[in-house]
Structure 1
Amino acid sequence: MTKKYHLKNKTVHAVNDVNLEFHKGEFVSILGLSGSGKTTLVSQIGGLDKATEGRLIVDGVDTTNFKQQDWNNYRKNNIGFVFQDFNLISHLTAKENIEIALSLSGLSPKEKSDRADELLALMGIADQEDQLPKQLSGGQKQRVAIARALSNKPDIILADEPTGALDPDTSVQIMEILQSLAEQGHLVIMVTHNKYLARDYSTRIVELKAGEVISNEEIKPCKKYKNEALSTDKSSLQFMTALKIAFNNLKIRKKSTIFLFVSLIPSMILIIAIMNLIFNIDGYKKDVEPLLDHVLSKDNMLYLSPYDNEKLEGKQSAVYRDITRKKIHSEKIEPFIKETVQPYSHEDIHHIENIKGVEKVLKNMTFHVTIDDNDFILVALPPKAYSAYQPYLHRKDYPDDNDEGVIFSSDAAKVLLGKYATNTSSLAGQDIAMNIDHYKSVPLGMSILNTDRYKVDTKITDVFERDSKTVLMRNYYAGYIFTSQGYAEKLKERFTLDDFSLFECEVPLSVDETDDELLIDGQYLVRGHRSIADPLKPLRAKTSLQEKYDLFDFKEYGLHMKGNNYSVKHTIITNDQWDKNSLKELEAYGVVSHYHFDQYSVASSRKTNNYIKYSLFGATIAAVIVILIPALLVCVILYISILLRIKEIGILKSIGARNRDILHIFTMESGLLACSSGLVSFLLAIPVIQYIRHVLEEKYRLEYFLGSNPMNVNVMGIVAAFLISVGLITLIGLLPGKKASQLQPNALLKHD
């Protein structure tokens, strides 16, 4: 074998064309001056270093094509190292230093303990098993090192100056141990300067000079042992052992560990808060998308109204002025009501349906009803032939055109049963009583609110699962229940034009009939509004946040809302024959739009969706930045730790630890740090999030206006933040550990 080093303009031969053969049972001493190549030769035999040229053949196996894993297995199974400076891991006890080598062989905890006890007894230091290296004498340390070298029953013991740091008496004891190992069938190769000890105990002496063999002398005969196959066991460092090493390392570096622990907590609290916000905002995104996808984007469906927004608002303003002047039955109001309830005559509808491409004109029928003091919007479904042109029920749940009764979504059923109800289908078939207090978003007059004419006994015919329940819009779909066209027509027949007025009201608990301020044409007008089943109502109320950014401003329900024209819209279902000329003909009857909502509401919903996307993007960037700060801090601290533990890494690799095992140790260190600080941060983050939520609620009343506070505790968000931050910080341990694990063990052991 040859080992060459290239230094600037010259080449140095540390080992120069050495050709030696060794046998089991030999005790070979390698002598030579410093720099003669003794340690380099032994390092090559032990797989700590690689030859530049030549071959190492062990038990008939050529190691020329060995990969890194093969060398790891070779050192672990076939080589036992004994060093001049002992190379024990300082934070492990004598017994643990032996067990760590046994951990690489996959033994059970009991098997490791028994084998370590056996070796300590063999070395005569059984009573020192719980002592740390700093508590042992030089001779005791070397005995522990020899015991560790013997742990996996290797064929070859390589001892590099094993007596160099010992007194003469102790040196003799160590030599006797090595001699007995050779007599038991091990190949013992020892590097030494002491030619007297070598001659007294060795069976052969090899002398080197300038990297070349100048003498190969047999001192005494030795017993011959049969060679066995080279062991290729591939066991790795056990998890609990790696975890224990990582934990001990953190204990030793108390100051840096405490510094990292304390430094991580604020960052991780912030990460948890941001991720909690992100998950809530993402929930808002899921709330807006059904509106955009299912309501604002309908194929083959148009909406027709006799008024544009400006004209309708002008009419409404005039009517409201009359209401404020208590002219409830003025000439201006009744025509407006008539136009709102029935804006097109039967003849108009017939002409519209004859336009090319128009398949059906559907008059929208919507009732506001109360069931068990719970408000709902009762929607008349299109005829069954047009079931594909509605955003609510699936075909399988669709009623026949004249079926009586009402259909509930599972979310609406939970309003009656309680929000935590699980068996919502139990409502199907039950009789119910409902009070109809609004029709087509136009409130009924005060005088008829408590009459039996608007109390209907019916039943719940079906309950279906609704998979697009929303939180932001206070259960946008949950506010709706449904009925067939035929049954809706029967309900509509109960109403006359005299039943309508243009103000919202609530039934007073007690009214002073002598108070003239409350009387309008014999009816009581109570200031304030009746709470109706309008899932978008909370979104229309203005906060400073909404006023500034125009968020969640929908104008569809309630005539008192500026810009509303829902009640005067008719749905136009079209087919493949529909073209531009058809559109032109339809526009002669009023304003045609592609959306159930007016254009202002469409623009607002899209703007809201964009704000949600921007907020998600911004919060995500903030989370990435915040999480990188502690991660980089851990990386720096661990890198410093690695520089201080280079020799320890070399020791582990010399006994067969793989690169992966070294990585596991450092990854576990960062994982222990991340988990401990993450748990504390988790406990502290909950009250922090609740405090922020309280501040937002006090200042903006977000729970009311948005349907939920964006800083509500989101379990999924907090768990995700914990897992992501702990996972990332744990993985950061790979970065500094990877470089150290890839260094050659020989270089690591030489590092001071």
Structure 2
Amino acid sequence: MPVMELKQVNKSYKINGGETFQALKDINLSFEKGELVSIIGESGSGKSTLMNLIGGLDSDFQGEILVDGENIGDYSEKNLVQYHKEKVGFVFQSFNLISHLSVLDNVTLAMTLSNVSKADREKRAKEILGVVGLQDHLYKKPDAISGGQKQRVAIARALVNDPDIIIADEPTGALDSETTDQVLEMIKEIAENGKLVIMVTHSEKVAGYSSRVVTIDDGRVIDDQKGSALTVTDNKYKTVKPNRKKNLSLIGSTKLALLNMKEKLARNILIALGGSVGIMSVILMLSLGSGVNSYLTDTMNSQVNPLVSEVHMPDEEPENQTELNEMRDQNPLMGLSSSAPFGTENIDELSNIEHVEAVEEGFTNFSIGTNKASFDGKATQFMSVTTVSSMITSADIVEGGLPEEGEVMITKNMADTLGEDLVGQDIQVDTIVNEQQLNLTMTVSGIYGAEASAAIDTVYLNYEDLKNAMEEAGGGLNPNIIYLVSDDAAATDSIKSKVEDLGYKGSSTEAIAETFSQMLDVFTYVLAGVAGISLVVSAIMILTVLYISVVERTKEIGVIKAIGGRKKDIRRIFVSESFLIGLFSGMFGVGIAWGLSLIANAASTHYFDVAIIDLTPMYAVSGIVLSIIISMVAGLMPASKAAKLDPVESLRRD
């Protein structure tokens, strides 16, 4: 049975205007092993079209091209890939070596696409390169060897998978006379080794080496002559087929991508650095928000007892809000209580909550322009009168201690205004509580310096002292704050949750902090979103560069397809490149963000004793993952374009 047989093969092209041009007309040929066939003809005669058909680069034809009895025109994409890997090898006029790969890597590429192990493919490639006389040039790049040596590399690449058919397209067209004779002798020996070698040429000298010359003109075979018979021998070109396993693996495609990126190293580093700017900005914005939030939370937690929950009555609408506003307009000394008072039933309800060990009554009153503290001829206004409880810790008392009977504690800002060494001194406190004017002489027990209270000057005293003062002034006092003391810090959250379920309000300070935290989160995400615009720019940049890469490597893509590369393999290589760009961009971005965070935290710690940026491992990993995702999404379109390139057109591209 012939190795290859063509039966009534016709090939037509669509041309401008919807017309059809028939390039091949009723081709009938049969080829045997051990033949060296030259297909000759003028330019435009159809010989290159015939070469593309028998090589499986173009499967759109009419008729049959039978290889071992199977019509390659009926092959699926998978079958064609196997045909290129196992049955046919190509030798091109312009060599079509991949410039950034070494001689050895160019030859092993065909086996890399078959996932042959590195040891096996290098052993096989070195054996073939030794046969063609290039054992001393294994690690040179194509630009470092002569034209004749390049064609020898191309021949080695065609032979490395031990195919049955070798197709040579003008194999000596780019060589001088002496080198031409050497290459033709080598090709003749390959045919004598029992392979079918088909050369497409217009040179009579090349045809003279052939055992058979087929002349084609205007798409038809016009002559088919026998030449000098070849002696089929078992010579040096006889080798064992490589042990093929599968298709190109993900690791293999990543290695090829790394080699490709190494060729344009400076450009790829700049792309990665450009992409890192967006990642760095987003990470820094999120870390800044996290740092400020953590500082706020830590500050709040440091000022309160973790065993205590603060409770307020729910807000109630006044019966006559208009009348209340008019009264305040007429009497600016009227105080503004923070919330409604608790009744006995409310206190009993709260005391029955599970894990509540004790209940403390408290009172707070907030007003503007009605409160004044005086000492030694100096006076300062304050906004809040608050009773002390187990909620307040001694952590932020900068001087003295918590007030006992007949004592008050004032904020540091008030103390700075009234004078030095106030602890132990008597001051005058004038305030309005529940519309009752109080004029108290109290001893200063301590100075409160919590940063959260810096904006609100406050006088702290015992609930019993305030209650007694109200009774002496003819009024009364009911608690408007309840403090629930838990028997276990771990139960505090559940107590707060139960308080909310019962319809009461929690700590106003915590509510303000939570609101501020939410606002800070929104602000952080807005800044991160603005910074994220640069990620879009990065994606566009990567998309553009990979498109340029597809154009630059069009011929390389054609070569890969000719030696058995699948569309999936081409996509994998380009997607792997975009993955690596994204990985390096993310790593650069995290590294730069980390360096800047160290500088910023060193400065903020020096001036404010606070580390303002909290760059967590989660942010770092998320930044790298985000960079990879953006880069790979940007690389999908160029990868798809590369995979769809027509190998015939790709190999024709200069």
Q: Structure 2 length as normaliser, TM-score?
A: 0.68
Match of 1:112 in 2: 121
Residue number among 643, 650, 654 corresponding to 1:741 in the alignment: 643
Aligned-residue offset at 1:21:
2.5
Aligned-residue offset at 1:36:
0.9
> Is the contact made by 2:406 and 2:442 (CA closer than 8 Å) also made in structure 1?
no
Match of 1:432 in 2: none
Match of 2:447 in 1: 528
Match of 1:131 in 2: 140
Secondary structure class of the residue paired with 1:139:
helix
Letter in 2 for 1:440: E
Q: Deviations over 1:604-626 (max 9, x none)?
A: 68865763564365245324422
Letter in 2 for 1:207: T
Q: 1:530 to 1:621 in 2, by over 3 A?
A: closer
Residue number among 562, 566, 574 corresponding to 1:658 in the alignment: 566
Match of 2:348 in 1: 363
Secondary structure class of the residue paired with 2:591:
helix
Secondary structure class of the residue paired with 2:621:
helix
Aligned-residue offset at 1:92:
1.7
Aligned-residue offset at 1:751:
0.5
Residue number among 724, 729, 744 corresponding to 2:626 in the alignment: 724
> Is the contact made by 2:168 and 2:198 (CA closer than 8 Å) also made in structure 1?
yes
Cα distance in 1 between the residues matched to 2:250 and 2:595: 36
Match of 1:685 in 2: 593
> Is the contact made by 2:36 and 2:210 (CA closer than 8 Å) also made in structure 1?
yes
Aligned-residue offset at 1:693:
5.9
Aligned-residue offset at 1:502:
9.0
Match of 2:498 in 1: none
Aligned-residue offset at 1:725:
1.4
Residue number among 2, 13, 17 corresponding to 1:5 in the alignment: 13
Match of 1:440 in 2: 361
Aligned-residue offset at 1:644:
1.8
Aligned-residue offset at 1:746:
0.9
Q: 1:164 to 1:286 in 2, by over 3 A?
A: farther
Match of 2:281 in 1: 270
Cα distance in 2 between the residues matched to 1:616 and 1:107: 51
Greater mean alpha carbon deviation, residues 738-747 or residues 245-254: 245-254
Cα distance in 2 between the residues matched to 1:737 and 1:526: 75
Q: 1:723 to 1:514 in 2, by over 3 A?
A: closer
- Structure 1 residues 421-570: aligned runs within 5 Å: 439-441=360-362, 503-504=408-409, 515=425, 517=427, 524-526=443-445, 528-529=447-448, 538=452, 542=455, 567-568=479-480
Aligned-residue offset at 1:210:
0.9
Q: Deviations over 1:218-274 (max 9, x none)?
A: 33667899xxxx999673335565445434443443553354344334333213213
Secondary structure class of the residue paired with 1:19:
strand
Secondary structure class of the residue paired with 2:28:
coil
Match of 1:91 in 2: 100
- Structure 1 residues 40-439: aligned runs within 5 Å: 40-202=49-211, 204-219=212-227, 235-238=246-249, 242-277=253-288, 344=343, 349=345, 362-363=347-348, 380=351, 382=352, 439=360
> Is the contact made by 2:121 and 2:242 (CA closer than 8 Å) also made in structure 1?
no
Match of 2:486 in 1: none
> Is the contact made by 1:305 and 1:568 (CA closer than 8 Å) also made in structure 2?
no
**Contiguous gaps of at least 5 residues in structure 2:** 1-8, 234-240, 299-310, 365-390, 394-402, 430-438, 457-461, 467-476, 484-501
Cα distance in 2 between the residues matched to 1:113 and 1:566: 91
Q: 1:167 to 1:518 in 2, by over 3 A?
A: same
- Are 1:38 and 2:86 an aligned pair? no
Q: Deviations over 1:647-671 (max 9, x none)?
A: 1121122111222322333333334
Aligned-residue offset at 1:45:
1.2
Q: 1:511 to 1:729 in 2, by over 3 A?
A: same
Q: 1:604 to 1:480 in 2, by over 3 A?
A: closer
Cα distance in 2 between the residues matched to 1:177 and 1:208: 25
> Is the contact made by 1:76 and 1:656 (CA closer than 8 Å) also made in structure 2?
yes
> Is the contact made by 2:191 and 2:197 (CA closer than 8 Å) also made in structure 1?
yes
Letter in 2 for 1:741: A
Cα distance in 2 between the residues matched to 1:38 and 1:644: 28
Letter in 2 for 1:688: L
> Is the contact made by 1:304 and 1:569 (CA closer than 8 Å) also made in structure 2?
no
Identity among equivalent positions (%) equals 30
> Is the contact made by 1:103 and 1:237 (CA closer than 8 Å) also made in structure 2?
yes
Q: 1:36 to 1:566 in 2, by over 3 A?
A: farther
- Structure 1 residues 608-687: aligned runs within 5 Å: 608=516, 611=519, 614-615=522-523, 618-619=526-527, 621-687=529-595
Aligned-residue offset at 1:526:
3.0
Letter in 2 for 1:746: V
Letter in 2 for 1:718: A
Aligned-residue offset at 1:161:
0.9
Aligned-residue offset at 1:636:
1.3
- Are 1:596 and 2:493 an aligned pair? no
Aligned-residue offset at 1:715:
2.6
Aligned-residue offset at 1:147:
0.5
Cα distance in 1 between the residues matched to 2:183 and 2:133: 12
Secondary structure class of the residue paired with 1:2:
strand
Query: How many residues were matched structurally?
Result: 534
Cα distance in 2 between the residues matched to 1:566 and 1:694: 50
Match of 1:420 in 2: none
Cα distance in 1 between the residues matched to 2:206 and 2:424: 125
Cα distance in 2 between the residues matched to 1:39 and 1:99: 27
Cα distance in 2 between the residues matched to 1:156 and 1:745: 19
Cα distance in 1 between the residues matched to 2:422 and 2:549: 83
Q: Deviations over 1:263-299 (max 9, x none)?
A: 3343332132134357679989999xxxxxxxxxxxx
Cα distance in 2 between the residues matched to 1:232 and 1:130: 23
Aligned-residue offset at 1:24:
2.5
Q: 1:157 to 1:512 in 2, by over 3 A?
A: closer
Secondary structure class of the residue paired with 2:197:
strand
Aligned-residue offset at 1:673:
3.6
> Is the contact made by 2:559 and 2:647 (CA closer than 8 Å) also made in structure 1?
yes
Letter in 2 for 1:596: K
Letter in 2 for 1:16: K
Secondary structure class of the residue paired with 1:665:
helix
Cα distance in 1 between the residues matched to 2:503 and 2:272: 58
> Is the contact made by 1:192 and 1:198 (CA closer than 8 Å) also made in structure 2?
yes
Secondary structure class of the residue paired with 1:213:
strand
> Is the contact made by 1:46 and 1:79 (CA closer than 8 Å) also made in structure 2?
yes
Alpha carbon RMSD of aligned pairs, Å? Answer: 5.0
Match of 2:305 in 1: none
Aligned-residue offset at 1:723:
2.1
Q: Structure 1 length as normaliser, TM-score?
A: 0.60
> Is the contact made by 2:38 and 2:199 (CA closer than 8 Å) also made in structure 1?
yes
Secondary structure class of the residue paired with 1:17:
strand
Match of 2:434 in 1: none
Secondary structure class of the residue paired with 2:62:
coil
Q: Deviations over 1:533-562 (max 9, x none)?
A: xxxx94x7659xxxxxxxxxxxxx9999xx
Letter in 1 for 2:200: V
Q: 1:209 to 1:255 in 2, by over 3 A?
A: same
Q: 1:513 to 1:208 in 2, by over 3 A?
A: closer
Q: Deviations over 1:449-503 (max 9, x none)?
A: xxxxxxxxxxxxxxxxxxxxxxxxxxxxxx899xxxxxxxxxxxxxxxx987795
Match of 2:433 in 1: none
Cα distance in 1 between the residues matched to 2:537 and 2:270: 14
